[in-house]
Structure 1
Amino acid sequence: MREIGSQVGYWDGVGATKTFTHPVHLEWLDGVRRNARILDYGCGYGRIMAELTAHGFTDVSGVDPSPALISRGRRLWPDLRVEVLASPPTLPYASASFDVVLLFAVLTCVPDGDAQRALIAELVRVLVPGGLLYVSDPVLSDDERNRARYAAHARRFGTPYGVFATDDGVVCRHHDVTGLRALLADLDRLDERRIEVVTMNGHRSPAVQLLARRR
């Protein structure tokens, strides 16, 4: 679980067929100029990038560890600027390269806490001072199905409560909101909103979106 890219085999297989649904709250980007440099980390097949481009943003890049998802994105939107990330979380960009970084449903795919902290540190590195980090991720569910699988995974593997394995073979994590806030402790949190999303396997799940600024 310590390697961010350790589940690429899943995303290059069945994961490459999934539909992702976390919505972009465009009002949070109203004050961002349309030529701002935007990075979508874990862009998947480019869904959010395409939406931002349609909304008038002109400098949007995306990276993802999965070659299959990147290939899917290139087929769907040939004009998008997407690249395979070879050694996550390390990004091939200089420090202070981006005005906005998006991190949508990525932390859930990185169960290990140390790996999460390394990822956030790398994203902060490539943000300009004053740049925005926009995070969207599922939070803990209190229904019987999820409580059972959180507990079962914790008993078997000693993982934090909220880590679980899906029926089709990927390990994910649902977070306590305070834990997500703690990951952003070195940034200024600007806003937070609770939402409900449909997961890639068709279940409804609570989620949170956080907007933070690099100091």
Structure 2
Amino acid sequence: MKDPGRQVTYWDTVGAEKTFTHPVDLGWLTTVDPEARILDYGCGYGRVMAELSQRGFSDVSGVDLSSALIARGRRLHPDLRLAVLESPPDLPYPSASFEVVLLFAVLTCVPDDDAQRALLAELVRVLVPGGLLYISDMLLQDDERNRDRYAAYARRFGTPYGVFATGDGAVVRHHDTAELRALLTAFDLMEERQTSVVTMNDHPARAVQLLARKR
């Protein structure tokens, strides 16, 4: 992951107070055994984990690179199993440890192509054959404000179109859906839908969710 220190600093300070909003479509998980091993990668303060736990999923773990967000999650949800990820994207679990992995608004925080591919490779490793990967992430927005900052950042830094810096210091990425599908080379895409979210800086935005099964 490029410049992980800068991003960790952001998530341990300004980012630690953000509110995350990507919704969970529980209908996509109706075939999942309530005792299935589930990992929430980039779990933040455990919002999605808490929802899954309340719906009867009993073996949910979460990791995040931000110690501040994990501390917040432990205060809010002392019953959840939360851990700081020390060397992202490497996970401290054996291969084939989980039946389901959640990746909610994480790829937006990993703007580099190679880093995204490395993350997906690690998730493939820890998923069992036939395991599910549930991605929720940010689409390219079509308003003038976003188009201007995508273009300006790409010209200045040569990054993929859709990468930009927020006003409070995070470097993030919005995606064309084809870019997200292209990461799923080890998976069969099962479901896809677009949804409305509110960004961590309180702007309405469009997101996409994908459910894929590891081959």
Mapped pair 1:184 → 2:192: no
Q: How does 1:83-162 map to 2 (within 5 A)?
A: 83-162=83-162
- Match runs of 1:56-75 below 5 Å: 56-75=56-75
Q: Is the 8 A contact 1:5 1:65 kept in 2?
A: no
Once superposed, which parts of structure 1, at least 4 consecutive aligned residues long, lie more than 3 Å away? 3-6
Residue of structure 2 equivalent to 1:206:
206
- The RMSD of aligned alpha carbons is 0.9
User: How far, CA to CA, are the matches of 2:126 and 2:185 in structure 1?
Assistant: 17
Q: Percent identity?
A: 73
Distance 1:130 1:5, change over 3 A: farther
Change in Cα spacing, 1:19 to 1:159, as seen in structure 2 (3 Å) is same
- The answer as to 2:20 corresponding to 1:14 is no
How far off is 1:4 after superposition?
A: 5.2
Deviation at 1:3, TM superposition (A): 4.7
Shift of 1:185: 2.1
**Which ranges of structure 2 fall in alignment gaps of 5 or more residues?**
none
The change in CA–CA distance for 1:123 and 1:115 in structure 2 (over 3 A counts) is same
The question of whether the paired residues in 2 share the 8 Å contact of 1:20 and 1:200 is answered with yes
Q: Can you list the C-alpha shifts for 1:187-212, whole angstroms capped at 9, x where unaligned?
A: 11101011011000000111100000
Deviations 1:27-58 (A, max 9, x none): 00000010000000000000000000000000
Q: Aligned partners of 2:5, 2:34: CA distance in 1, in Å? A: 32
Can you list the C-alpha shifts for 1:73-93, whole angstroms capped at 9, x where unaligned? 000000100000000000000
Match of 1:29 in 2: 29
Q: Deviations over 1:141-186 (max 9, x none)?
A: 0100000000110111111110000000000000010000000122
Distance 1:34 1:214 in 2: 19
Amino acid at match of 2:28: W
Name the structure 1 match of 2:38.
Answer: 38
Match of 1:172 in 2: 172
